[in-house]
Structure 1
C-alpha cells in the first residue's frame, strides 16, 4: 500500500529514536490508522544510521503462550543479536541466546539477562539500540510460575532500560485503547512513559492525495466527508480503476458498516438501551468528551463498544469517537 502523508509522524519518531532514552513511548491510535506503516518507514529511513532496531510485530502471531514468547523474541545463535528472519527486508534484529539453551528451563530472570546482554552488546559496538514491540498487549496473559505477569515485569525492565540507565529506547505500538488506559493507570510507569497518537488523516491531506490520484473536484468534495484512514484511500482508488464511482464505493462501505453493527448488537449480551444511550451521543458529533460516556452505569457497554472497535477511546486527550468516519456515518444510520 502506498505511504500517505505521515511526514509529521515520521519526523517525530525519527527524532525521538535519536535522542537519549529517557522514557517508554507508547504509540497508539485507531485500528488501521497506519501506526505499523509509520514505524516501518522510520526504520527504513534510519537504516544507514548507527541504530540497531529490535523489532517484534506480534500481529503476525496468535496470542502467544510462554513457550511461544521465547521463540518469537529469542534466536539461538553464537551472537548476542541476530537478524529477524521474519522481517528480513526491514533489516531488524532479534535477541540472541546460546544454541544449547533449554527454553523449558528459561526463567523470567533469564529473559531479562538475555535482553540486557543483547542491548549491551549493541552499545559495546558503538551503536544505539531501539526496541520496538507492535501490539504489545498480546503479552498480557502470559505468566511465570503461575503468578508473575510477564508484561508487568517487562515494564520494570523497560523503565530500567530507558529512564534509569538510558541504554535503549523502548517503543510500544497498540490500537487497544483499554490497554492504554491500564498502562496510564499503572504506577510503575508513572513519570516513565510518553504517549504519541497516530490518528485519522487530516482532511487537507486527503484532498491533496485524491487530487494527486486524479480525482475531480466533485469526487473529492464528496469523498472527504467519509474518509479518515489510509487503507480507505487505497480501496477508493482501486475501486475507481475497477469502474465504481466514488459514491457507489462509499455507500457500499456505509451499508456494510451498518449491517456489521446491527449484527454485533443483535448477538451481544449487553443492555440495548445503554448501548443506544452511548451511540446516540454521536448523532450530531463525531467526538465527545470521555466524561459524557464513562459513567458507572454505562461502563460495561462502553468497554464492549471499544473492544469491538466501534469506538476509539483516547484516554490521553479525554476524547471518545468512532474508529473511523465511515463508522460514524453507519452509527448515524441506526435507529436509536
Structure 2
C-alpha cells in the first residue's frame, strides 16, 4: 500500500488542522475533493472533539485527520504568572479592562487526557496527528489497534527519528516558514530553525518514514517542489484561511489580504510557545515584555483575555492571526475550488 493509499487520498494535499480556524465544513470539503481534510481538537475536551468528528463524518465518507496537542504538562508557577499579569496590566488598561486575577491551564495535553483517548479509540477517525510531541507507547498502540493512521509533526531530524521509533506511520516535517504553533517537542531546547526544504530532505534520506512537507507552501509550484524533495504529500494551512469554510473572523481575513501579510513574526507572548503569526501590536510588545512568559497554554489564558478586551474596544491588533511566510500568496475561494486549482497548478492526476 502506498502512503497516499494509507491516507485514503487521491491527491497529495493535506489541509493543516489549524485549531480555531479549521472546521468540519472545511475538512469535509477538502476530503471530498480528494485531499486530506483536517480538524484541530487540541483546544477542546472529549465531548467537543466528538462533536467535531461527528460533524465531519456527516459531511464526508472520505478519510479525514483529527489533530491533537501532546505538549508537556504545564507547570504552575504563581510568582511567574503574577509577574506576567503585572507586565500585561498596561495593555489591558489601554482598553479600560482588568487582566485576569489568576491564569488557568485552559486545556489538557492529549498525553494527560484519558477521556479524549477513550473517545478516539471508540470513534476511530481514519487519521490522527500529533503536534508538540509523542504519546506514550501504550496510547499509540491503542490508537493503532483501533485502525487509525498516525502522523506526528517533527521540526528536526531527531524528532522525526523519535516518531519513527515510537511507531508513528508518517511524519509532518514542519519547516521554520510554517504558520501557527511550531511543533517542537521541547520549546526550551535549542532550535536549529530548519527550513522546509532542508528538513524534508534530511528526514526523507535518514529515516524510513513517509514525509509530508509543511511550511510556506501556498500553491501548485510549492507542492511540486515538496514532491520533488521526496515528500509523499504537502500540507498547506495558511492557504486555506481565506476560504469561506474557515472560522477566521473578518479582521483576520482583512489582515491576511493586506500588506501585513508580508510581515510575520515568531513569538511566545501570545500563548507561551513559539508561534508564527502576522506581526501586530502584541508581537511588537514582546521586545519590551519585562517578565518571563508562563508555560503553554497557561500564558494563552492571558493572551485570549487581552484579545477579547481589545476587540471589544474595536482594536484587532492583539489577535492570534497565525500565518506562514507564504501568506502574501493567499487566495480567497471555497476550499474545494482551491484544492482543484492546486491540483491543476501542481499538474497532479486527480
TM (norm. structure 1) is: 0.31
Which of structures 1 and 2 has the bigger CA Rg? 1
Which structure dedicates a bigger proportion of its chain to helix? Answer: 1
